[in-house]
Structure 1
Amino acid sequence: MTVRLSLLNAGQTELTDPELDELRAMFHGPLITPEDPGYDESRVMHNGMFDRRPGLIVRCAGPADVMGAVRVARERDLLVAVRGGGHGIAGHSVCDNGLMIDLSAMRGVWTNPAERIVRVQGGALWADVDREAQTFGLAVPGGVVSTTGVAGLTLGGGLGWLHRKYGLTCDNLIAAEVVTADGRLVRASSTEHEELFWALRGGGGNFGVVTAFEFQAHPVGPAVMFGCAMYAAEDAEEVLPAWRDWTAGLPDEVTSRILFWTMPATPLLPPEVHDRDVLIVAAVHAGSPDEGAPALRPIGRFGTPLADLSGPAPFREVQRNLDFMFPKGQLRSYWKSVTVNELGDDVLDVLLRRGLNRPHPRTLVHAPQMGGAVRRAGPADTAHGDRSAAFIVSIDGNWTDADDDAATMQWVRDGFDEIQALPSTAGTYLNFSGDRDLDNAAKQAAFGRNLDRLAGIKRDFDPENRFRLNNNIQPAMAR
């Protein structure tokens, strides 16, 4: 057989059977072609909007395989996609006809409880981290969906249920092992390749393939206080201002968010909310349940909830609570987000109107609270950039029918434009972005003054922009 592969900049090349056999001998993990068993399973992304067909997949078993794959791509000038958890909304991790470097088999997690350090391979999911770390009563600030990939979340910033107490995921990164564009494996930390380490904390997958992360973990759980009240969506005009006022006085231990959604009719949920449009008010207290109970009690008192599910819960269970909203490969998704300095009445008005007029039951209007430890980091401390925002407003289009693509994506863009036009907006959060190609305005909104520094680091580690299927930063001109 012959495999056709796209070149980095233009054109295609072919690999014959003897060449494929030679490549197979290089790798410990399997080399998967479109004719091999498991090909279709390997290319499935969380976002069902994308049905891309790589020319070749290297399912890496370890760093040596990653180094080999990068060198093959370099020698043959191939287009490359890098897949960790495959959870990215923009679908960067799989490409048509290119070489996909697949880290999904590299999911090992090791915890050092004495030093509170958790080491994580590049293909791990947050469920893997939570399981291992919680065995020792520790947690790394991660996402709110346990199937999210560690790599993408970390490299793009990383917010979840613990960020107000312990910072973004990238703030808790203490070292990373990275395969660079020339096929070398380097370690980046505060004392080794310091500029690369700075760039990895929020600059995305621009600078190499991270094969391992080392995180600072924190004592959390095993049980935490979880607050969750579901109000009828039509009561949101009363509930939203009450929630906003409550968040203004919260300690850093509490991280809260609201979500407009339509609850499915499932035995997992109270009958009162089945097939109902709801406003969910949720929060987690990072301390003990006894400390958290009084702090979260007001969640059920912003009006008359349809259901109040608040109570102590295992932290791992809290981390999985939203998984059912995002079944792998079953939803088409397009998201855009805006950070805001305050939830003024003008912002709440847009939240309300958009939340009450969603185009599909699975579409979310979502506002996570920021501040706390996130805000205390300086804008140049990491590549993530400005930390001043008090909230993020994310318009999360999720739907099922391809015929609705254009209309739903436009609905998301219109909501984004409406929020962005308000005076309190500050920037954007690229992990909540479905745009495959970022314009200069989006890059400036995300990285601010850090963009020039990132372009310089990109030039130093990937001058040919081989790692370009991401929230791409062009390398600066040669000095």
Structure 2
Amino acid sequence: MTSATLPKELDGKVVTPADPRYRLLRSTYTTVARPALVVLPQTTTDVVAALRYARDSGLPIAVRSGGHGLSGRSSNDGGVVIDVSGLNEVRVLDRRTRLVRVGAGARWAEVARDLASAGLAISSGDHGNVGVGGLAIAGGVGWLVRDYGLTIDHVRAAEVVLADGRVVRTDAEHEPDLFWAVRGAGAGVGVVTAFEIEATELRDIAVAQLTLAADPDGSTLSRWAEHLAQAPRRLSTAAMLMSDGRRAVLSLTAVYAGPDTGRMRKAVAPLLEIGTLLDQRAHRVPYSGLVSTAHLHPNLGQQPANTTNGLLPTMTPDAARAITAAVTGPRPALLQLRSVGGAVNDVAADATAYSHRDSDVLVVGTVFPPGDRATLDRIWRPVGAHTRGAYANFESCPDAAAFRRFYPGPTGDRVLATWRHHDPDGIFRSALYPSELS
């Protein structure tokens, strides 16, 4: 495999193909992989040792928190996977300021559970098995997004192991360029091992689940977007638009950031009229019930898929028609729609490496086998013509062109400059974008 000697810090923390645990650790949610070994660090010092070993061995490096990344690049074939799941601390540092320390290896279900007793929550994606690290360095479009903003908008500091093995704390006053990149483009600067995040006061939430037949001309989507653009910020929605025979069906989850079901019903009421209502349910639950520990599972490559996405500053009638047509054609895709805007757009475009601060809708397109990337590209092309920019975490095939959609114009130039400064040999960059951004 390699002649490099494993450092003593890693004794008992390395899983090879001969280990019974390897089957549960080698892959990601979307991709079956075959790394030479998986390192399970328990401390930041272990991460430094794992990184040094991988560099000395000349092996490719992948960093994994939860393994839900759609690109599958949190594992690899023949390389070293640094799996930070052991760095899973969740601790309230200051209840008065709601400051929480969260290890990069924690799962968001664990974070929600552990903060519930303090009456706190962090908006953090929509599935409890997602790892903190991968989401909190890219964006974080969660169930509370219009009220809370992105997860990165509340990161107040981070601990990072750089490519040369140095461990640095970065915040607005210390290593500010690094702090800028960690919030939106952190995968290319090093291994982020922990975050300090400002949580929000929240215990229970109100949730409505609606199923509607979507009008073929796209008017259902237009009405959805029009309502969300002027709805109370406490209301955020995520929807799946899918084929049901010859018609499109919209399965919509609306989350009201608070326990008042009366206010939630008033905020949701206009959504009952956007299409033909097929089913509806409403209930009040703890936030930890929505991002649930029931979601926790090993990742075995069980969900192969091809996914891409784009952001819409507004939902135009033409965009709504194109999105609806994508799920009703001869080879339909699954389309997800997420309301953004609100608090997301309060942040200046140059404040973080996520610069898309003028968009109201995130559209995500997915095809499953036997559909392939070419299938997705054909279906997506009419939709993508209406988008401007994209979100790095919902792209299964990141390349140089995708990089410029994630980080357009001067933002992309600054991201690359920061990556090259902190990782001049490109060991992290090459794992993300092999040879394309060298």
TM-score by length of 1: 0.84
The residue that corresponds to 1:168 in the other structure is 150
Pair 25,107 (structure 1): closer, same or farther in 2 beyond 3 Å: same
2:239 touches 2:252 (CA, 8 Å); kept in 1?
A: yes
Aligned with 1:66 (options 26, 30, 47):
47
- Show the counterpart of 2:204: 223
Deviation at 1:188, TM superposition (A): 0.7
**Structure 1 position 110 matched with structure 2 position 81:** no
SS in 1 for 2:179: helix
- Inter-partner Cα distance in structure 2 for 1:34 and 1:229: 46
Q: CA deviation at 1:200?
A: 0.4
Partner of 2:221: 240
The reply on whether 1:136 has 2:107 as its aligned counterpart is: no
The aligned counterpart of 1:10 is none
Code of the residue aligned with 1:373 in structure 2: it is A
**Is structure 2 residue 437 aligned with structure 1 residue 466?**
no
Alpha-carbon offset, residue 24 of structure 1? 6.0
Shift of residue 284, structure 1, vs aligned partner: 1.1
Deviation at 1:38, TM superposition (A): 0.8
Q: Is the 8 A contact 1:74 1:182 kept in 2?
A: no
Instruction: Tell me: CA distance 1:45–1:96, structure 2 relative to 1, closer, same or farther (3 Å).
Output: same
1:429 maps to 2:391? yes
How far apart, in 1, do the equivalents of 2:255 and 2:196 lie? 25
Cα 1:262–1:24 shift into 2, 3 Å: farther
Give, as a single letter, the amino acid of the residue that structure 2 aligns with 1:252: R
After superposition, residues 241-256 of structure 1 pair within 5 angstroms as: 241-256=222-237
Of 148, 152, 157, the residue aligned with 2:134 is: 152
- 3-state secondary structure, aligned to 1:242: helix
Q: Check the 8 A contact 1:259/1:280 in 2, yes or no.
A: yes
Query: What does the per-residue CA deviation read over 1:390-427, in whole Å, with 9 as the maximum and x for residues that have no partner?
Result: 11111022x3x5xx1xx3422321233212223xx321
Tell me how large the CA RMSD over aligned residues is.
Answer: 2.7
Alignment correspondent of 2:24: 41
Partners in 2 of 1:475 and 1:199 — Cα distance? 19
Task: Give the match for residue 378 of structure 1.
Answer: 348
Which of 318, 321, 329 is the matching residue for 2:290? Answer: 318
Check 1:321–1:378 CA distance in 2 against 1; reply closer, same or farther (3 A cut).
Answer: same
Task: Indicate if the aligned counterparts of 2:208 and 2:254 stay in contact, CA closer than 8 A.
Answer: yes
1:199 aligns with 2:163: no
**Residue 416, structure 1, aligned to residue 380, structure 2:** yes
Change (3 A) 1:66 1:29: farther
- Corresponding letter in the other structure for 1:431: N
Instruction: State which of 30, 33, 37 in structure 1 corresponds to 2:13.
Output: 30
Return the alpha-carbon distance in structure 2 between the equivalents of residues 410 and 333 of structure 1: 12
Distance (Å, rounded) in 2 between the aligned partners of 1:175 and 1:68: 23
Residue 450 (structure 1) aligned with residue 411 (structure 2): yes
Question: Cα 1:29–1:230, aligned 2, differ >3 Å: closer, same or farther?
Answer: farther
Whether the 8 Å CA contact 1:93–1:469 is kept in 2: the answer is: no
Q: Secondary structure at the match of 2:128?
A: coil
What TM-score results when the alignment is normalised by the length of structure 2? 0.91
Unaligned runs of 5+ in 2: none
Q: What is the letter of the counterpart of residue 442 of structure 1? A: A
Deviations 1:225-280 (A, max 9, x none): 112101235778553333233223112211123212479xxxxxxxxxxxx97311
Cα distance between partner residues in 1 of 2:300 and 2:226: 36
Of 265, 269, 277, 1:297 maps to 269
Alignment partner for residue 81 of structure 2, among 100, 104, 109?
A: 100
CA distance in 2 between counterparts of 1:373 and 1:185 reads 32
Q: Is the 8 A contact 1:162 1:255 kept in 2?
A: yes
Q: Is the 8 A contact 1:123 1:149 kept in 2?
A: yes
Alpha-carbon distance between aligned partners in 2 of 1:236 and 1:253, rounded to the nearest angstrom: 29
Q: Deviation per CA, 1:183-209, whole angstroms, max 9, x where unpaired?
A: 111111111111111100001310010
Give the percent of matched residue pairs that are identical in Structure 1 and Structure 2: 31
Q: Distance in 2 between matches of 1:325 and 1:42?
A: 11
Q: Partner amino acid for 1:432?
A: F
Deviates more, 1:316-325 or 1:179-188: 316-325
Question: Quick check: 1:28–1:60 contact (8 Å CA) kept in 2?
Answer: no
Instruction: For residues 5-64 of structure 1, give each alpha carbon's deviation from its aligned partner in whole angstroms, at most 9, with x where no partner exists.
Output: xxxxxxxxx23xxx6xx52633255111111221121112111xx222111221111111
Q: Could you tell me which residue of structure 1 aligns to residue 324 of structure 2?
A: 352
- Supply the distance in 2 between the matched residues of 1:450 and 1:29 (Cα, whole angstroms): 42
Match of 1:278 in 2: 249
